[in-house]
Amino acid sequence: MMECLGSAPAASTATVLENRQVGPGCYRMCLENDYIARCTLPGQFVHVRIPGSSLDPLLRRPFSVCLVEPSNGAFLVLYQVVGRGTKMLSALRPGDRLDVLGPLGRGFEMPRAGAGGGGDDGSGGDSGNSIGRGSGAVRVALVAGGLGIAPLIMLSHALFRSGVGFVFVVGARSGELLAGLDLLPRAPGRDAVLSGRSASPEPAGPEIVQGAHVPPNGCDTATDDAGPRYEVQVVTEDGSMGRRGLVTDALRDVLRGGDIACAYACGPAGMLREVARMGETFRVPVQVSLEERMACGLGACLGCAVKAREATARSGRTAYLRVCADGPVFWVEEVDLDGIG
């Protein structure tokens, strides 16, 4: 069995186990690749060569790893058809094989248990994202716009296994565009999603008081103090599911509660900018996962460079970070979010 190589990329083949439409233009593809299933950390991505594109060597496309099942050697990608590459992907059938690079990039930094908490001074304490005893910051917020939910699903499983409570705020233009809610920890029927194989049971964990169902009012709250649990808040712009409005409207209310140690966000650039502003206002450290266009995916071509905020301020010269190698996850202080999207 090949050892995990950290951030060093491994090129390999993945076999399609399932590729199924789950919404308008939205697909869920389950792939078999033992290395990626074992070695991917939440927030990392795979760079997939689109088959049938031999005349277009640049046709690799990045996708977040949404879920892994190491015991089955399977991993899941949730994707939206937006152009040529994703259209070709959607035509793949079980048994087809893909050339995949990964896992790539720097994923989410997990919250750490400790006495620091978010810190009254907004510094986030020493670690920036600690869950503090006595600090009032007892859970974290996950904020997803559209298919930005993909990397956050894997993060939600890691948090759940670590016993960290969280609120997952999920938004889309309308209810039919919401995807992936059934992939949250212990969601009904989740065992069947990885290719119809019997998935290994969720590790014995603390009881979830509120599960990943979508409550009619789009907001669900935990009701007792027994162990970590999570809640899901659904927001749609047209009000067809959950609360009507923007995902950031719901996030604002969550942050007003004062018990959020840090926030993790993935979605459209405008949403990320607003989440960053809110983090500053409420003194909550924020990590964002960026989805810039990529070429090599390996840190070599600078095709995905974004302006670095802290490094530019420090050196007085414009500095850049590579989304593929330095990210795709960044603390908001690290990057100039005005320059993305």
Quick one: what does residue 328 bind among ligand FES, ligand FAD, none, with the CB cut-off 5 to 8 Å set by partner type? ligand FAD
Q: How far is the CB of 301 from ligand FES (least distance, A)?
A: 3
Compose the 309-338 pattern: x for residues touching ligand FAD by CB under 6 A, - for all others.
-------------------x----------
Coil/strand/helix, residue 325: coil
266 closest CA partner among 181, 187, 328: 328
User: Could you give the CA distance from residue 175 to residue 159 in angstroms, rounded to a whole number?
Assistant: 26
Site for ligand FAD in 10-29 (CB under 6 A): none
Q: Which is nearer to ligand FES, 261 or 294 (CB)?
A: 294
Q: How far is the CB of 82 from ligand FAD (least distance, A)?
A: 4
The 3-state secondary structure of 91-124 reads: CCCCCCEEEEEEEECECCCCCEEECCCCCCCCCC
User: Could you give the CA distance from residue 86 to residue 222 in angstroms, rounded to a whole number?
Assistant: 38
User: Does 301 sit near ligand FES (CB under 6 A)?
Assistant: yes
Lookup result for tokens 């290994």: 200
Residue 264: partners with Cβ closer than 8 Å, 6 or more residues away: 108, 140, 141, 142, 143, 152, 155, 286, 287, 288, 289
User: Does 324 sit near ligand FES (CB under 6 A)?
Assistant: yes
Q: How far is the CB of 9 from ligand FES (least distance, A)?
A: 12
Q: Which is nearer to ligand FES, 303 or 339 (CB)?
A: 303
Coil/strand/helix, residue 159: helix
User: Could you give the CA distance from residue 112 to residue 293 in angstroms, rounded to a whole number?
Assistant: 31
Residue 117: partners with Cβ closer than 8 Å, 6 or more residues away: 125, 130, 131, 132, 134, 135, 136, 137, 261
The 3-state secondary structure of 261-318 reads: EEEEEECCHHHHHHHHHHHHHHCCCEEEECCCCCCCCCCCCCCCEEEEHHHHHHHCCC
Q: Which is nearer to ligand FAD, 282 or 330 (CB)?
A: 330
Site for ligand FES in 183-202 (CB under 6 A): none
Pick the piece of the chain touching ligand FAD (CB under 6 A) from 15-23, 81-89, 157-165, 235-243. 81-89
User: Does 335 sit near ligand FES (CB under 6 A)?
Assistant: no
Q: How far is the CB of 121 from ligand FES (least distance, A)?
A: 35
User: Does 45 sit near ligand FAD (CB under 6 A)?
Assistant: yes
Quick one: what does residue 291 bind among ligand FES, ligand FAD, none, with the CB cut-off 5 to 8 Å set by partner type? ligand FAD
Quick one: what does residue 150 bind among ligand FES, ligand FAD, none, with the CB cut-off 5 to 8 Å set by partner type? ligand FAD
Chain residues binding ligand FAD by CB under 6 A are 45, 61-64, 78-80, 82-86, 147, 150, 291-294, 328
Chain residues binding ligand FES by CB under 6 A are 294-297, 299-304, 322, 324
